[in-house]
Amino acid sequence: MAYKTKELEKQAIEAIEKYKLFFIDDVVSYLPCSTATFYNHKLEELETIKEALKKVRTEIKVSMRSKWYKSDNATLQMGLMKLIGTDEERKKLSQNHTDHTTGGEKLINKMEVIFKDFSEDAE
């Protein structure tokens, strides 16, 4: 069956919005064509489809953060604080923060090489 790219694009966007899809692979499942046809039409490259997926992901993230904010659950509130807090606030909230930086100190790249003469003549 021959599919028209514009029609598949329209159906893809409708499915994304209706079913709140996040990923391209999910979109293919809601279309009347095969995965090969989807990619042959280069639908994964269309900005309209990418933007529709991005919009759904953003809406869901905003909704989740709003629920976390309104929640009495300390774990959700800590998760939100770690997302929105400054680096200093996150460090204070962390139970075991390990600084993997030099704390502002400049690194000096030193390499010492020690040679030992293992020949029989050396004593």
Q: What is the pLDDT of residues 42-89, one digit of tens each?
A: 999 999 999 999 999 999 999 999 999 999 999 999 889 989 999 888
Cα distance between the two ends of the chain = 86
Q: Which two tokens stand for residue 10?
A: 């329209």
Is 0.85 surpassed by the pTM of this model? no
Question: What is the identity of the amino acid at 25?
Answer: D
Cβ atoms of 38 and 31 closer than 8 Å: yes
Radius of gyration of the chain (CA): 27
Query: What is the per-residue pLDDT for 59?
Result: 96
What residue spans define the domains of the chain? 5-86
| 22: pLDDT strictly greater than 70 | yes
Length of the chain in terms of residues written: 123
